[in-house]
Structure 1
Amino acid sequence: MHVDLIDLRLFLKIIESGNITAGASRSHLSLASASARVRAMEGSLGIALLERGRRGVTPTPAGKALAQHARLIQQQVERMQFDLADYAKGFKGQVRLLCNTSALTEYLPELLADFLVKNPAIDIDLEEHPSLRILHAVRQGAADIGIISDAVDATGLQTRPFRDDPLTLIVPLGHPLSSLGSARFTETLDYEYVGLSINSAMGIYLEEQALHSGKRLRIRVRAEGYDGVMRMVARGAGVSIVPQASIDRWPSRQAFNSIALSDPWAVRKLLLCATDFSALPGYAKALLEALGTGEAPEGNSGTLSWPDAS
């Protein structure tokens, strides 16, 4: 199927006016050219898009579907033109940054806010994804910079340390696991969990770890963020696993017990990654520098180093 933007705009004009001649005129095309374009679209699709009658034309069911898609595409093109207008003037840059749940909730808000204040000509397109999806996106050129867990294989990408990010088990006071100095993840799977949103990177990660052990998480309820998770655990709704950084900033530490996880994947570090740090655009390098030199928030025990990109 070959359809260009002129075809789509023409088709919408024809449907709006109910007449090929009027649609051609509104699209600044000759009637012959407009008719040829419609026939080419129908031939490419192998289906009629318009029903011709004495009083004009009406869209077939396929034509109605095409019109719906054409309107969406036209809206996206208009949005793209608006967004790119500033870039054409030479004073705008946008960095696409993908990160996991811990980075998004615990480490980035203040860093990114400070960066945006200092760099009004740079925007950040920020999305949360599991580390494996981030790796794929960075490798495919769909993101400038990623923040991933060191538990995934980043072969082929350049990486730099971002934060230490150990995961910790939290349980209500008096819970059967409370007396343990440390615990294995498998020991927790017989108990009910307070989970994160099913679409969160951390939620997906923990579900995968449970499946690797041959079990599933017993989720009683899900919360949208770590604060909600800890508040529910403190009230006895279940156990959960959160970054140690979340516990460090929790105002009422006596509301639940925290227990170290002994699983190697829980003692993790977060890494900055890119296909080639030196090849990043200037505005992306500026963000990379800010992420690499930003101080850990107060109360966060994570460490940071900034080695050469090798």
Structure 2
Amino acid sequence: MRFDLLSLNLVLAIAETGSLTRAAEREHLALAAASKRLSDLEARLGVVLFERRARGVEITDAGRALVRHIRALNASLHALESEVVEYARGLKGHLRLAANASAIAECLPPPLAAFTRAHPLIRISLEDMTSAEVQAAVAEGHADVGIFVPPVLEPQLATRPWRRGTLAVIVPAGHALADEPSVRFEALLDYDLVGLHVGAAVQEFMREQATERGRTLNTRLQVHGFDAIAQLVGAGLGVAILPAVVAERFSQLFDLQVLRLDEPWAEREYQIAVRKQERLPTLVQRFIDSLAAPLQAAGASSTLIPTP
């Protein structure tokens, strides 16, 4: 059975707009032509993709399944086009990388710099996202590789452990906790906290930990970026939890004290993710191999396996 991209993209447009009329406009089709294309496709597949309602259409389970495949197909076509165009420009490839802020700040720069030195003609696009957004971007084909903190939320991903990081606490100099070498999370709940924006993995995890203890997370300020957190803490507006490497770095710039976070979850694991596929594109596999080089030296494999 052969499909044409115009009909498939029409299905995607209907699913995203909830309206055949708006989808036809988006795809620059007459309404009658769009309706016929949809009817013909449903007849060929032998299923109903959308239930017609008085105020639009409602996608069926069969329609949702088709939309998932259409998005995957469009992602593959985009990757194909991007790679061919890059070759035409004299480059050897374009890698789309998504990572959460902690990974970018704590452990990604050195291996990323090493890869770009070894492959100067490969262009890398890096986006800073929450761990959930990283996984969605890879699953939907918007990123080739993702680096994030579990839990794994997308079943379409193949993942593997990469590196471990440690969380630490920063408090203003002169704070009641400043002379303590370490602190339990529960002690922090007595103070205002400065945290990352909603959706950040560490922020959501702290909220869960506070709830388990029957406490409220007193997040006084939520911002984008560790530097903003460090400056606000240094100004006496609260305490915060940051990756230990980042905390030590900012303690050299601002009037802060770094404390060890005495919790088993203070050590966490970064994971690498790609879409499940039989064979990774050469460029993606090369990048995965470069990230896993220290692990391979220790006897680990760089092969990504699907998450159970």
Q: Which TM-score band applies after superposition, normalised by the shorter structure?
A: 0.5 to 0.7
- Cα distance in 2, alignment partners of residues 112 and 220 from structure 1: 34
Distance 1:131 1:5 in 2: 33
TM-score (norm 1): 0.60
Residue number in structure 2 paired with 1:307: 299
Residue 223 of structure 1 aligns with an amino acid whose one-letter code is: V
Q: Distance in 2 between matches of 1:214 and 1:159?
A: 34
- Corresponding residue of 1:195: 195
**Structure 1: how far apart are the matches of 2:277 and 2:262?**
34
Residue 86 of structure 1 corresponds to which residue in structure 2? 85
Q: How far apart are 1:274 and its partner, in Å?
A: 4.5
CA contact (8 A) 1:99 1:128 kept: yes
2:116 corresponds to? 116
Is the contact made by 1:166 and 1:243 (CA closer than 8 Å) also made in structure 2?
Answer: yes
Instruction: Give 1:167 shift.
Output: 0.4
Given that residues 129 and 201 in structure 1 are in contact (C-alpha distance below 8 angstroms), is that contact kept between their aligned partners in structure 2?
no
Contact 2:83–2:93, Cα closer than 8 Å, also in 1: no
DSSP-derived class of the 1:180 partner: coil
Deviation of the 1:175 alpha carbon: 1.9
Q: Distance in 2 between matches of 1:213 and 1:133?
A: 28
Aligned AA (2:85): D
Deviation at 1:126, TM superposition (A): 3.0
Map of 1:224 onto structure 2: 224
Contact residue 196 and residue 222 of structure 2 kept, 8 A: yes
Structure (1 or 2) with the larger CA radius of gyration: 1
The root-mean-square deviation of aligned C-alpha atoms, in Å, is: 4.6
2:23 is matched with none
Give structure 1 stretches of 5+ with no counterpart: 10-26, 28-33, 46-61, 63-75, 295-302
Could you tell me how far 1:141 is from its partner in structure 2? 6.7
Check conservation: 2:158, 2:276, Cα contact below 8 A. yes
Decide which moves more: 99-108 or 232-241.
Answer: 99-108
Cα distance change, pair 38–266 in 1 and its aligned pair in 2 (3 A):
same
Tell me the percent identity.
Answer: 29
Measure the CA separation in 2 of the matches of 1:101 and 1:201: 10
1:246 CA displacement: 0.7
Counterpart residue number, 1:281: 281
Unaligned runs of 5+ in 2: 11-27, 39-55, 57-73, 304-308
Distance apart, 1:194 and its partner CA: 1.5
- Of the three residues 34, 47, 68, the one matched with 1:41 is 34
Distance 1:153 1:4 in 2: 30
| Aligned length in residues | 246
Scaled by the length of structure 2, what TM-score is found? 0.60
